[in-house]
């Protein structure tokens, strides 16, 4: 464990706190010195960018209270859901564009 990893863990916890406060209007009750170990583990496994995106996506989910311990234990599920959601949005955008093109061709008599 290095100073950099501890600093990054506290940064992730601060990001979690900010997202929590935005969602609930109050700060969560966290023992940062205890929770840093889980944050370090997430950072080691996934990297800062993925953990940040995963936390942001977690607060978009319909989870009561958004507990940090649950996120630690289920981060892989949350992040996989995030990636699936991104792919689904891209696919839907492509299909909307194709539909609009077909509709325009039909209206122009080119179909």
Taking only the tens place, the pLDDT of each residue in 24-48 is 999 999 999 999 999 999 999 999 9
- Helix (H, G, I), strand (E, B), or coil: what is residue 66? coil
Residue 70 has pLDDT above 70, yes or no: yes
> CB–CB of 12/55 below 8 Å?
yes
pLDDT for position 72: 95
Q: What is the pTM of this model?
A: 0.81
Residue 111 has pLDDT above 70, yes or no: no
**103 exposed, middle or buried (CB, 10 Å; 0-12, 13-18, 19+)?**
exposed
Taking only the tens place, the pLDDT of each residue in 71-110 is 999 999 999 999 999 999 999 999 999 998 888 888 887 6
């Amino acid at each position: 464990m290095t100073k950099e990893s501890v600093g990054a863990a506290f940064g992730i916890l601060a990001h979690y706190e900010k997202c929590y406060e935005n969602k609930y209007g109050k700060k969560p009750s966290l023992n940062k010195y205890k929770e840093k170990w889980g944050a370090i583990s997430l950072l080691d496994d996934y990297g800062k960018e993925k953990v940040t995106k995963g936390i942001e996506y977690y607060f978009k989910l319909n989870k009561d209270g958004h507990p940090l311990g649950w996120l630690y234990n289920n981060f892989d599920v949350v992040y996989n859901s995030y990636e699936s959601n991104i792919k689904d949005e891209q696919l839907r955008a492509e299909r909307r564009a194709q539909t609009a093109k077909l509709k325009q061709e039909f209206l122009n008599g080119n179909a």
